[in-house]
Structure 1
Amino acid sequence: MTLSTSHNTAESAPFEGQISGVLFDIDETLVDLVAAMKDAMVFASASLLPDFTAAQWEDFSALYMADPHNYYDRYVAGEFTFAQQRGLRARLVFERLDVAFDATAEERWISDFELAQPKSIRAFADAAPLLDVLDAAGIPYGAVSNNVHDYQRAKLDTAGLSRIGVLVGIDTVGVAKPDPAIFHEGCRQLGTVPAETVYVGDNYLVDGVGSVAAGLQGVWLNRVGDVPASDVEGVPAVATLAGLAALLGL
């Protein structure tokens, strides 16, 4: 189905032309990865930090997720393996805590983390209802992610989102967002043209601005009320995926 924005109200639909499909980011858009990672960090680190309080675990996870040396982005760029970026980010936290963390401890931490994280993978509560709405409207959808295909495929399946059949990872076309090629591959697999495809993700610059630059209709999913680092016209924001349905007039 092709959705004409003429069916929408002026307030809820900033898009021009028609919307023929929707592509999603995965982590922190469809899947609550932060919560799963927090659980995995506690499991992997508990033996090294047996007396940590809940507040201290929050600080631990905040520093890990902040990734001040951009180890994850450098993994995406090919500088490290996925496991290496995990270990480097953990090593930084333990160094800040002045806790011994040798190569053996790091290897075990990575293994324990990867064992625990899938057990806590959950979709956000608004993900499945939006897919139901898109299914009912006959609008195809898929995902474009800055991680490898198979890892993200397993994540979607674990989160109960196996109906998302189109999935493009960084290993699919050899580039990462915001390179236009990865967005365009998502459109190709979805069978839509970029100008008629919505892309929604939680990263304002990479997902919102990047998809608009690639010719898609970008939407920023701003669940936590962040202020964007720059102001670019044509990137509407929604606080929930239900808000995306409203933007589409569904």
Structure 2
Amino acid sequence: MSIPVVLFDLDDTLFAHRDSVITGIGAHRRVLGGAFLAADDRAEAVRWHALEEEHYHRYLAGELTFAEQRRARARGFVEHFGVVLDDSEADAWFDAYFDEYQRAWQLHDDALPCLDALAGARFGVITNGELDFQLRKIESVGLRSRLEQVVASGEVGYAKPDPRIFNHACGLFGVASAQAAYVGDRLRTDAIGAAEAGLLGVWLDREGAASGPDLETAREAGVRVIRSLTELAAVLGY
């Protein structure tokens, strides 16, 4: 019997966030010019991604506000080039980057075919972030009409992998946790978090980067591992 409710992570699961980040920071550096442009493209993309991981998770932990984590990312990036930004300058720098990032917004190529293959399922998103911001992304890529519910940590007050956010989403659909699956690109935050809340956790390992211990951890948690969303329908019995 197929699972009736399928919930997804947003960034880097349905929405091509990291690809958009790489495109956005590259375009922003070209506008800035000078030393920013002379630096190595790959190294700077990796550095910007690391700053996002550090400061966005500080925001999720309650250490920074949403605006403060953006400023911290901007300051961390430019200090490498000997630049110091006050709050207003950091806001302006990040806004200029964000314009480029937003121009690059897109879904992963396998997102819509995956939803089409899950005919009859009810869909939702659980995302760590601010609801208004995440909805902007969802709407911009034409995904909103496909989703029955969008649950954001900034709205409910707790973030993945807290089981409450998964159970809250199941409650909105009126189903028991065992009647839902959750698909995400992070093993512990997404797939194991969902499994511990009673859902079927599915780890989307797009890069095939899973180590032997990762795969064993997933197996012990009852998590299924896929490399593409095109594999999901078969995993869920559709």
Please confirm whether the aligned pair reaches a TM-score higher than 0.5, indicating the same fold: yes
Deviation of residue 69 (structure 1)? 7.5
Which residue does 1:160 correspond to in 2?
142
Which residue does 2:104 correspond to in 1?
120
Which has the larger helix fraction?
2
Deviation of residue 102 (structure 1)? 2.1
For residues 54 and 146 of structure 1, the distance between their equivalents in structure 2, rounded to whole angstroms, comes to: 34
1:66-215 aligned within 5 A: 66-67=50-51, 70-95=54-79, 97-103=80-86, 105-134=89-118, 136=119, 138-162=120-144, 163-215=146-198
What amino acid maps onto 1:42 in structure 2? G
2:7 to 2, 18, 23: 23
Cα–Cα, structure 1 residues 242 and 55, in superposed 2: closer, same or farther, change >3 Å?
A: farther
1:245 aligns with 2:228: no
For residues 50 and 245 of structure 1, the distance between their equivalents in structure 2, rounded to whole angstroms, comes to: 49
Deviation of residue 204 (structure 1)? 0.5
Between stretches 192-201 and 220-229, larger displacement belongs to: 220-229
- Say if 1:67 and 1:89, in contact at 8 Å, map to a contact too: yes
Between stretches 107-116 and 240-249, larger displacement belongs to: 107-116
Deviations 1:56-93 (A, max 9, x none): 12211111212387211111122212232122123223
Cα–Cα, structure 1 residues 69 and 245, in superposed 2: closer, same or farther, change >3 Å?
A: closer
Deviation of residue 46 (structure 1)? 3.0
1:33 aligns with 2:17: yes
Cα–Cα, structure 1 residues 55 and 124, in superposed 2: closer, same or farther, change >3 Å?
A: farther
Structure 2: gaps (5+ residues): none
Q: Percent identity?
A: 35
- Say if 1:141 and 1:190, in contact at 8 Å, map to a contact too: no
For residues 77 and 113 of structure 1, the distance between their equivalents in structure 2, rounded to whole angstroms, comes to: 24
RMSD after superposition: 2.1
SS at match of 1:175: coil
For residues 66 and 201 of structure 2, the distance between their equivalents in structure 1, rounded to whole angstroms, comes to: 28
1:220-235 aligned within 5 A: 220-227=203-210, 230=214, 231-232=217-218, 233=220, 234-235=222-223
Cα–Cα, structure 1 residues 133 and 202, in superposed 2: closer, same or farther, change >3 Å?
A: same
Question: TM-score of the superposition, structure 2-length normalised?
Answer: 0.88
SS at match of 1:31: coil
Cα–Cα, structure 1 residues 84 and 178, in superposed 2: closer, same or farther, change >3 Å?
A: same
SS at match of 2:125: strand
SS at match of 1:34: helix
Deviation of residue 107 (structure 1)? 2.5
For residues 53 and 35 of structure 2, the distance between their equivalents in structure 1, rounded to whole angstroms, comes to: 28
Structure 1: gaps (5+ residues): 6-18
